[in-house]
Amino acid sequence: MLLNVLKGAYPSLQQISKDHVIEASAQFERGTCLVEKTETSGADSVTKWAVAGVDDAADKTKVVHFALQGSDDYQALMAGNVSGTGYVAKVTAISCLQPMEIETDMFVGDDLKAGDYLMVGANGKLVKHTTGKTAVLQVTKAPYVRWSNNADATGVTAGFRQGTNVTVIAGRTVFLPALA
């Protein structure tokens, strides 16, 4: 749920980002790794965001993007459209091709250290890179704790406090297909 750009061209006209509606079943948070998926119906084709997974790390053509909104973000829902099943969010995501350093809590693994390469794992979260997969982030700062205003404060009376501590990593974006 946390994605913070520490260094790089964000927000600016130089940022490499795309806007797409999401797959109707997609549920994700800010910072989740997304990939483009094209759906064809007759002569029409539509590109949508799909939550990235382990199979996408093995595909050298899939460029990972980091979601700037969650699938239930009210502004993303308003920017989307109405389908037969309700609102479909239109989300902006920023490409791993853009040189930047980010801070995120969308990772799995307590043993990460500076210099480690990460790839996409299950549910759009980053995991330690394995040989032959596409690396999308290189850790610049091992897991550490910081405050996030957006984090859910559990066990607190509503309206009295917002946010809590979250564990994050910092990393620089890379796109290294089939890294060995």
Q: What angle do CA 165, 90, 83 make, to 5 degrees?
A: 125
What number of other Cβ atoms are within 10 A of residue 169's Cβ? 24
Model confidence at 24, in pLDDT bands (50, 70, 90)?
confident
Q: Which band of pLDDT confidence, cut at 50, 70 and 90, is reported for residue 74?
A: confident
Q: What separation in angstroms does the CA of 105 have from each of 25, 144, 147, 159?
A: 23, 10, 11, 24
pLDDT band (50, 70, 90) for residue 26: confident
Higher pLDDT, 127 or 79: 127
pLDDT at residue 155, rounded to an integer: 61
pLDDT reading at 159 higher than 80:
no
The parent domain of residue 159 ranges over: 3-179
pLDDT at 156 over 80: no
Interacting residues of 103 by C-beta distance below 8 A, sequence separation 6+: 2, 3, 4, 5, 6, 146, 168, 169, 170
* Total domains, the chain: 1
